[in-house]
Chain A
Amino acid sequence: MEIASNLLLGLSVALTPENLLYCLFGVFVGTLIGVLPGIGALAAISMLFPLTFHLEPTTALIMLAGIYYGTAYGGSTASILLNIPGTTSSAVTCLDGYPMAQQGRAGVALAMTAFASFFGGVFGILVLSAFTPLVAAWALSFGSAEYFALMVLGLVAASTVSDGSPVKGLAMVVLGMLLATIGMDPQSGVARYTFGSLSLLDGLSISALAMGLFGVAEIITSVRANTGRTIQARDVSLRSLMPTRDDFRRSWMPALRASTIGSLFGALPGTGPTVASFVSYGVEKRIAKDPSRFGKGAVEGVVAPEAANNAADQTAFIPTLSLGVPGSATMALMIGAMMVHGIHPGPNLVTEEPELFWGLVMSFWIGNLMLVILNLPLIGLWVRLLTVPYKILYPAILMLVCIGAYSVHYKAFDVMVVLGFGALGYLMRIFSMPAAPLLLGFVLGPLIEQHFRRAMVLARGDFSAVIERPISGTVLLITLLVLVWSLWSSFRKRRQTLAAATPGPRIEDED
């Protein structure tokens, strides 16, 4: 059967000592980069890019890819242990991961994210292996109208991401969207809110924003906070590191759903792991029997985003390999690595370069396995890191954040952006305003605006054209239904709590 021969071909390529070595190197560097807040995959891959000229193309790709999906494994470590995301796609993992650590379940959280990442990665690989041509064709059919509809759905689905006052949560989404308008407007070329600054023309750097908002603000809050930060070494017994059967039982459906969502967003150029992590978290919270557990250490809140971002990282290769279209700056480097060797990714890649394609796919399996094996024992190490006194830890984190921000453009400007968002983040904490929705708005806002405006240009100003297109029309309808359902269910909840609160003759439960 053809699939079997392809897989065998892939294995024969992926299992050569050279490729295995570079795979291991890539995933190891990737994990390290993911763990370190501030530095992301793009910086690492850019640095190692010149190395790929001297390597075989398959080997080069295996290494770069390893770094790429490796970061999605390591990113959750800092999120869980320090409430500071190691990568932007792990920001959502802070919401439940950190509370879990505070409840003494850091090891469990880390283990579950490793498993979730593996689950998501494998799911993504399966989609990549079996459905690449289908998914690629489907991605092509997504014009701006469809993107617009999907991003709106994503926004509605993810809007439940925060606890506390819904007004504040929505206000933060709006603020995030406003901050994202800073820069040159892609549709008109007008520089918005840049006040002549060339550095602002491309907008605020998302990693500087996330580092300031989540990282610096967290440090400000935690320094000398007397919250019993230092955990005794003896509390970190091996048993406390192991997830319970209950954890697994609760996790596998969210992992499955999140992997599907992740695969979807990953395969669409222009969206990726960050959006996927938000949306999958929001979905899980919405359909959970007891949504109030989220934000307080629900294991689903950690499993969903991590499965989603890993799935998205794998399926991001679908448009890259089969269309030759980079969905992000990192993918552009992957394509560059191929082009240097004269390989042009595209619909013919699978048939013309089967060793490359299947070798790469099989290396993803091997890489993910390596990562799980690497990461699980490291959990003990990371948790022991918690015992390092905070007064040593926080200057280190500040330094990492500063260097990481600087390394984006090698300009002090980005460090100033971190400063600004650190101040904003702290201010928001004083006002009890949640940070995650701001990041959500910042990521989705420009997608919604640009795709809507472009869809209008392409539809010559006729909005009904957007509704009439099959995909966008359906997605918008689903969005409407979700909105109606969530409004109705919150209304119902309000009635229930009112009914429970008002004293009166004892009525047996009606609902």
Chain B
Amino acid sequence: MKLIKLAAMATVLATGAAQAQDFPSSPVTIIIPYGGGGSTDLIARALANELGQMWDQSVIVENRPGAGSMIGTAFLAQAKPDGYTLLVNTPAHATAPAVQKTLPFDPKADITPIGMVATSPYLAVAGTAVQSTDLAGFVAESKERPMFFATAGVGTSSHFAAELLIQQAGIDGEVVHFAGGGEAQTNLMGGHADVYISNTASVMPYVNNGQVKALTILGASRYDALPDVPASGESGANAIDINSWVGLFAPGKMDPALVEKLNADMHKAVASETFKKVLADNFVLPGSGSAADFKAQVEAEMELWSTLATERNIIAE
């Protein structure tokens, strides 16, 4: 009996390892849960390109937009965890479940986080109606004229980051929801809303064009890629220790050996010369850490946003 169990275990381990070794032997699909052309889309396509060259297999990219990335994620959740269906997402993966309580899948059990592709702090940019150039000045200005925080929509990371900053920095402000980061920043440019918080990939193009001002990054200390932008920690908002990221995901219950292989391959792809350029263009740093590290971070963020949602009464009914 013991021998049979041992043999069974050995077979499972062997096939798992064999699966990981053979992978990939046919085309892989990476799902992007957003419409084409956005910053996440372009980063994901670059990653797909790199992986494709590394694996000598075609890595196809599929856009499946909707429900704040939940439509694409729902599709991932019901795919087989054999590594041939993957997904690239931002912290929307953690913020959307905090607002959408009736998802057709379990965001923790049905999804396997593989690793962090890139990371950057959240950057708050200010529009034409704002006079100040740093957080301290902004807080003071908000006492005179309550500020409007533009968001890309209810339950987006820009929404949650705004709520976090309002709470931590003691700003007199309220959120205004727009349909996407583009509309949010347009309103900033037109002076209708005041500030927008998002990852560097989304906002830096507008900062570089001079259309919006980089106000502060959300974090304890300055960001290497943007040394001239003050940190919110410098103005006393020290409790913010959360960064934006782009991550790779797979369906749940994936074989650990395969998870490790994907994590390792992903890091290799990100370290390539061509991908370095993509990182630099978007003012993001390469992600690091094992799949377990990433999973822990994602789940911690899910907790954080869920708590914040309740505290700040984000889910209207």
Contact = CB atoms under 8 A, between A and B. Distances in A.
B208 to A, nearest CB: 6
A267 B35 CA distance: 21
Interface stretch (B134-142, B173-181, B258-266): B173-181
Contacts of A332: 35-38, 182
Given A49-B37, A189-B314, A332-B37, A346 B71 contact: no
A202 B193 CA distance: 25
B93 interface: no
A48 to B, nearest CB: 11
A413 to B, nearest CB: 10
B154 interface: yes
A395 interface: no
Interface string B60-75: 0101111100110010
A133 to B, nearest CB: 13
B192 interface: yes
A55 B186 CA distance: 29
Given A189-B155, A347-B210, A454-B176, A269 B38 contact: no
Contact of B193 (A201, A339, A458): A458
Given A188-B316, A189-B154, A336-B36, A346 B45 contact: no
Nearest to B105: A198
B42 to A, nearest CB: 6
Interface string A193-205: 0001011011000
Contact of A201 (B36, B37, B67): B67
A346 B209 contact: yes
Interface residue tally of chain B, by bracket? Answer: 35 or more
A333 B36 contact: yes
A269 B186 contact: yes
Interface stretch (B18-26, B96-104, B284-292): B96-104
A410 B62 CA distance: 11
B37 A199 contact: no
Contacts of A270: 179, 183
Interface in A173-215: 184, 186-191, 196, 198-199, 201-202
A141 interface: yes
Contacts of B317: 190
Given A140-B189, A342-B281, A458-B148, A409 B177 contact: no
Given A46-B36, A144-B187, 14 more contacts: A140-B189, A140-B190, A186-B179, A187-B154, A189-B315, A198-B103, A202-B71, A269-B183, A270-B183, A325-B185, A336-B36, A336-B37, A344-B209, A454-B177
Interface of A: 46, 49-50, 53, 140-144, 184, 186-191, 196, 198-199, 201-202, 269-270, 319, 323-326, 329, 332-337, 339-340, 342, 344, 346-348, 409-410, 450, 454, 457-458
Interface of B: 35-39, 41-42, 45, 61, 63-67, 70-71, 74, 99-100, 102-104, 148, 153-155, 174, 176-179, 182-183, 185-187, 189-190, 192-193, 205-206, 208-211, 281, 314-317
8 contacts: A141-B190, A143-B190, A186-B178, A198-B66, A201-B100, A324-B211, A332-B35, A458-B176
